[in-house]
């Protein structure tokens, strides 16, 4: 399941995006960014959230809205 979120980011001329923070659960969370790629669904970006939690966000090309993957039970934490 995916949830809509707010994303504070900048787009470069070549289409790459730089994500600074996301709006989720009523507050802004600063994030670090990992790799990104594009497929039929849109632009995907891996982010590192507080507590070393890794998530994937996607700018859906069909809706032009950001979504975060609900990875319950599949969340990845860095050691």
Q: Is 69 part of a structural domain of the chain?
A: yes
Total domains in the chain come to: 1
Q: Is 27 part of a structural domain of the chain?
A: yes
pLDDT band, very low/low/confident/very high, at 61 (cuts 50, 70, 90): confident
Please give the distance of CA 64 from its chain centroid, rounded to a whole number: 13
Q: Alpha-carbon distance 19 to 31, whole Å?
A: 7
Instruction: Calculate ∠ Cα 54-9-23, nearest 5°.
Output: 60
- List pLDDT tens digits, range 10-50: 999 998 999 999 999 899 999 999 999 999 999 999 999 99
Q: Alpha-carbon distance 61 to 2, whole Å?
A: 15
For residue 14, give its domain range.
Answer: 2-73
**Nearest Cα to 26, choosing from 47, 1, 6?**
6
Helix (H) or strand (E) holding 34: strand 32-38
Q: Is 78 part of a structural domain of the chain?
A: no
Is the model's pTM score more than 0.75?
A: yes
Say what percent of the chain tops pLDDT 70. Answer: 86
Burial class (CB in 10 A: 0-12, 13-18, 19+), 69: middle
pLDDT for residue 2 = 78
């Amino acid at each position: 399941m995916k949830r809509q979120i707010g994303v504070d980011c900048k787009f470069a001329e070549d289409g790459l995006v730089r994500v600074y923070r996301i709006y989720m659960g009523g507050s802004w969370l600063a994030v670090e960014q990992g790799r990104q790629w594009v497929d039929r669904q849109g632009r995907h970006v891996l982010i590192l959230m507080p507590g070393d939690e890794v998530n994937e966000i996607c700018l859906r090309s069909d809706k032009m809205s950001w979504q975060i993957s609900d990875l319950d039970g599949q969340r990845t934490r860095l050691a």
